[in-house]
Amino acid sequence: MTSWFVFNGDADGLCAAHQLRLAGHAPDKVITGVKRDIGLLGRCAAQPGDHVWVADISLDANRAALEQLLDSGVTLTWFDHHYAGVIPSHAALSAHIDTSALVCSSLLVDQHLGGPYPAWAVSAAFGDNLVAPARDLAMRTDLTSAVVEQLAELGALLNYNAYGESVADLHVDPALLFGRMAPYVNPLDFIADDPFVVDLRVSMQRDLALARAAPFLHAGADCAALELPDAPWARRVHGVFANELARAHPGRAHAILVESSAGYAVSVRSPILRSGGADALCRQFATGGGRAGAAGINCLPRHDLNTFLRAFERAYQHEVAS
């Protein structure tokens, strides 16, 4: 029997899978990739009798591959917080899926395991910009504020590392990073030992400085949109920058559009202080998906820009006219 680990290459996916590994579920085969690479289950060649651990990818986006695996006698355990659609009821599928805006996959794994590795879950929640749930778990597990700041930075850096068109664009291949995390029960030891943190910190701050200088397409009280150029730094930093804007303006929705030859890659963040809707907005477009608080469109055709901006403003306008 082969044990497969299939997980998103961002902070949440890595930390969810790492907690499962620390809990004794050893991975024989690992499938991960850039953050946008969400159809990962299609690459899983599990055989009858194998088990697949899935973390932080949408069930709905992997439905065809899931049904094929279930039909062939593979068992799966799935942790996720993205839009799932109808969850198949099948004895071989154990699904821990909660799309509420207050959880991420790593928090679901933490709950499932009974909380043995909360510091990794705290880092992941910060990586997904779930600041209040991250601080809440940190408080309940008696982490000091100095430790919490280090975990928050690690989450942001792991998340930052995952943005790119292909694994070749990334500082570190998430599959290799997952291997380097393996010995660490405590993320503070990983932070202290691994050069990943220092390298990424320098790069992320440089990219953020460029992003902060970008002009807004639109900036109102309820929502703001801005465009970043077709450049590697923009592709690396747009998600982390969207999270920064969301925290700085918690009552406002944000959309960041990164130009590409084919159109735009779009990141949307719902206002932290109001309810979600980012996934519903993005799923109106062919390559859109995500969750209530944070979602994206992989490729918005250039001729759909105005349609998107109108839908974005409509989605987040206050009911009361200002």
Angstrom distance (rounded) from CA 244 to CA 167:
24
Q: Applying CB under 5 A, what is the total number of residues that bind Mn ion?
A: 5
Dist CA 97 CA 82 (whole Å): 8
Stretch that binds Mn ion, among 29-37, 101-109, 183-191, 281-289 (CB under 5 A): 101-109
Q: Choose, by CB under 5 A, the member of 44, 93, 104, 191 that binds Mn ion.
A: 104
Measured in degrees and rounded to the nearest 5, phi and psi for residue 103 equal -125, 160
- Gap between the Cα atoms of 214 and 218, Å rounded: 12
Q: Does 110 bind Mn ion (CB under 5 A)?
A: no
Q: Which of 56, 110, 279, 304 binds Mn ion (CB under 5 A)?
A: 56
Q: How far is the CB of 214 from Mn ion (least distance, A)?
A: 25
Is residue 12 within the footprint of Mn ion (CB under 5 A)? yes
CB of 69 to Mn ion, least distance (A): 22
Distance of alpha carbon 118 from alpha carbon 140, whole angstroms: 10
Interface residues for Mn ion in 244-273 (CB under 5 A)? Answer: none
Nearer to Mn ion, 74 or 181 (CB): 181
At its nearest, how many Å lie between Mn ion and the CB of residue 158?
11
- Strands 288-290 and 263-269 come out as unpaired
C-beta closer to Mn ion: residue 101 or 224: 101
Cβ-based nearer residue to Mn ion, 7 or 312 = 7
Is residue 128 at the binding interface for Mn ion, with CB under 5 A as the rule?
A: yes
* Separation CA 262–CA 291 (nearest Å): 24
CB 241 within 8 A of CB 209: no
Look at residues 252, 173, 243, 177 and name the one whose alpha carbon lies nearest to residue 208: 243
Q: Which residues bind Mn ion (CB under 5 A)?
A: 12, 56, 104-105, 128
